[in-house]
Amino acid sequence: MTLFDLTGKIALVTGGTHGLGMAMAEGLADAGAQLIITSTTPSKLEAALEHYRGKGYQASGYLFDVTDETLAAQMVEQMVQEQGEIDILVNNAGIIKREPALTMKIDEFRRVVDVDLVGAFIMAQLVGNRMVKNGGGKIINICSMMSELGRNTVSAYAAAKGGLKMLTRNLATEWAKYNIQVNGIGPGYFATSQTAPIRVDGHPFNEFIINRTPSARWGNPEDLAGTAVFLASRASDFVNGQIVYVDGGILATIGKPSNED
């Protein structure tokens, strides 16, 4: 399936050291891409590179915070000099702070928006400028169901991810003429180490997610790989400004009554 072949492509995945970012990076590497990953934590970066290389992937890593515009520019330049031009950017780096809106500290709100939205813009602008010169590229922003829905205690995260959805559409509008496709992936609820404590049988939230999801299960991280490959490949050359929600159908339904089979 040459439409999905990423052989010879270089994919930069920010925050690609664990969880969903790692699953998407593995999908890209399985399709032939060379990986570049970023982190702010040396130990996580080293462990991730060992994992990738242990699976036979070509992978390199760089330590920096995507919100540091000056350092990010230096690191992108270094990546290109050492690895080659970036064909695919996955803006995956993100944080969440759970706190009721009435009591959330303003600096915490700003930090979430800075990482999840401004950091994505910084990276998109830096890599996008190179893609313009190189004749095109693929940018994938990792959005969320909170790009569409609200939920208690995640006002900053929802604001940032809602903004990222609209940033995706706006960049697609501006950059389509340069053969750059900018799309997003909106993951639903996934089985990761972070959600392990609430996925046990009998936990109210576990029951809520299973009942709320038409597929009646949590997503597995590898469920994201195919969508990432599609949006990174020639198969999506005429797909632009779209958010693909990989959520088992949650956003398609109002849900079912608790007594419905």
% of residues, the chain, pLDDT over 70: 98
Interacting residues of 237 by C-beta distance below 8 A, sequence separation 6+: 181
Confidence of residue 261 (pLDDT cuts 50, 70, 90): low
What single-letter DSSP state applies at residue 220? P
- Identify whether the C-beta of residue 90 lies closer than 8 Å to the C-beta of residue 128: no
CB atoms near residue 235 (< 10 Å): 15
Helix 119-134 to helix 69-83 angle (10° resolution) is: 40
57 is catalytic: no
3-state secondary structure the chain: CHHHCCCCCEEEECCCCCHHHHHHHHHHHHCCCEEEEEECCHHHHHHHHHHHHHCCCCEEEEECCCCCHHHHHHHHHHHHHHHCCCCEEEECCCCCCCCCCCCCCHHHHHHHHHHHHHHHHHHHHHHHHHHHHHCCEEEEEECCHHHCCCCCCCHHHHHHHHHHHHHHHHHHHHHHHHCEEEEEEEECCECCCCCHHHCCCCCHHHHHHHHHCCCCCCECHHHHHHHHHHHHCHHHCCCCCCEEEECCCHHHCCCCCCCCC
Considering the candidates 157, 178, 189, 245, report the single residue annotated as catalytic.
Answer: 157
CATH 3.40.50.720 fits 2-191+219-248, yes or no: yes
- Residue 101 pLDDT > 70: yes
Amino acid at residue number 85: E
Q: What is the pLDDT of residues 38-85, one digit of tens each?
A: 999 999 999 999 999 999 999 999 999 999 999 999 999 999 999 999
Domain boundaries in the chain?
2-191+219-248
- Identify whether the C-beta of residue 44 lies closer than 8 Å to the C-beta of residue 29: no
Q: What is the pLDDT of residues 81-92, one digit of tens each?
A: 999 999 999 999
- Identify whether the C-beta of residue 165 lies closer than 8 Å to the C-beta of residue 146: no
- Residue 258 pLDDT > 90: no
